[in-house]
């Protein structure tokens, strides 16, 4: 089956490839490695629709890896706000600086994987898409396509090693970057998690799951345990025309972001940032990767010197620069 897959898929991709700002057209020379790397980092655990605007703003503000390397980390964190998984933004700056220092991106998967924030998936994607290396790129879309193509009924995550091995057998020597993106596009637009459009799929002929009538059931998954629940408090303080904000620790949840002082939900147990007549203005709910949060938003109007954080002039304050959780807290007061 393997020899016929790549030609079928690439022929479909040549006609139906998604037009994305970080992607070269099918068959064209590869895109700038900087844009490939930036998009792959942004796309980790985030949808194409959510990433597009961030990518365009980043590349307009920092058009080269050298420009990003020279940017203050706080500015990059502010531009990243709302995209989530903030360790990616911290690693983004560290990686840009490492690449700028060495004079450019390395071209092999092994060398790429040594850079900050670049793991097995991202290194394979950059090597294949930016440098034409015959590396196998496996994300959730690719796992789903391969599970159906070979009718792999072993549940995820246990099937991952087998799916990666099968995907490697499909990767062609010619146009590996286009092939990787074609697999992603197929999974995103045709071989979707629910109601796959098998009738228009270019791989419907050799697909074993379709032949068996089980395509919509794959990939199978082990039942997920319910997420634990946490509670916390965010304190939003005003002093005339100022608002109190603090820079969170560089590592950990929402690391390095500008936020309202808070406590409880992140393992800390801290008192309010200043003595004031606090009142609860509302509550917000937020889902993290490993837990669900119910956070009370307390508000007060009080001056003085806070024990935590610094006063920021309200007219210069843009809530869009806050992480998603803190934007929800701000919205309670609107």
**Which residues are marked as active site?**
40
d(CA 334, CA 330): 7
Give the burial class of 103: count Cβ atoms within 10 A of its Cβ; 0-12 exposed, 13-18 middle, 19 or more buried: exposed
d(CA 195, CA 228): 31
What three-state secondary structure class fits 130? helix
Q: By the 8 A CB rule, do 116 and 18 touch?
A: no
Q: By the 8 A CB rule, do 235 and 300 touch?
A: yes
Q: Provide the β-strand partners of residue 307.
A: none
DSSP secondary structure string, 43-105?
A: HTTS-HHHHHHHHHHHHHH--SHHHHHTS-HHHHHHHHTTS--THHHHHHHHHHHHHHHHTS-
Token pair, residue 34, equals: 């900087």
């Amino acid at each position: 089956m393997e020899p016929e897959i790549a030609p079928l898929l690439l022929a479909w991709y040549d006609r139906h490839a998604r037009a994305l700002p970080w992607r070269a057209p099918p068959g064209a020379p590869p895109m700038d490695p900087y844009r490939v790397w930036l998009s792959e980092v942004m796309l980790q655990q985030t949808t194409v629709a959510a990433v597009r605007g961030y990518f365009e703003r980043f590349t307009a503000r920092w058009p080269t890896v050298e420009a990003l390397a020279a940017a203050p980390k706080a500015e990059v964190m502010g531009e990243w706000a709302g995209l989530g998984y903030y360790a990616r933004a911290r690693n983004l700056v560290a990686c840009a600086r490492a690449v700028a220092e060495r004079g450019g991106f390395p071209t092999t998967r092994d060398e790429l994987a040594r850079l900050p924030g670049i793991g097995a998936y991202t290194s394979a994607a950059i090597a294949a898409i930016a440098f034409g290396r015959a590396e196998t790129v496996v994300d959730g879309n690719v796992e789903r396509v391969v599970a159906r193509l070979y009718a792999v009924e072993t549940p995820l995550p246990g099937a991952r090693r087998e799916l990666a091995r099968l995907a490697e057998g499909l990767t062609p020597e010619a146009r590996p970057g286009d092939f990787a993106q074609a697999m992603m596009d197929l999974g995103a637009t045709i071989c979707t998690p629910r109601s796959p459009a098998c009738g228009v799929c270019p791989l419907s002929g050799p697909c074993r799951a379709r032949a068996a009538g089980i395509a919509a059931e794959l990939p199978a998954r082990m039942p997920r345990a319910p997420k634990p629940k946490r509670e916390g408090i965010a304190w939003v303080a005003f002093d005339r025309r100022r608002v109190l904000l603090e820079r969170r620790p560089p590592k950990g949840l929402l690391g390095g972001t500008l936020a309202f002082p808070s406590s409880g939900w992140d393992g800390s147990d801290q008192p309010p940032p200043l003595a004031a007549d606090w009142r609860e203005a509302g509550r917000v709910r937020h889902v993290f990767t490993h837990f669900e949060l119910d956070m009370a938003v307390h508000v007060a109007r009080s001056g003085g010197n806070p024990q935590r954080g610094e006063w920021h002039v309200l007219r210069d304050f843009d809530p869009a620069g806050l992480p998603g959780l803190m934007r929800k807290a701000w919205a309670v007061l609107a």
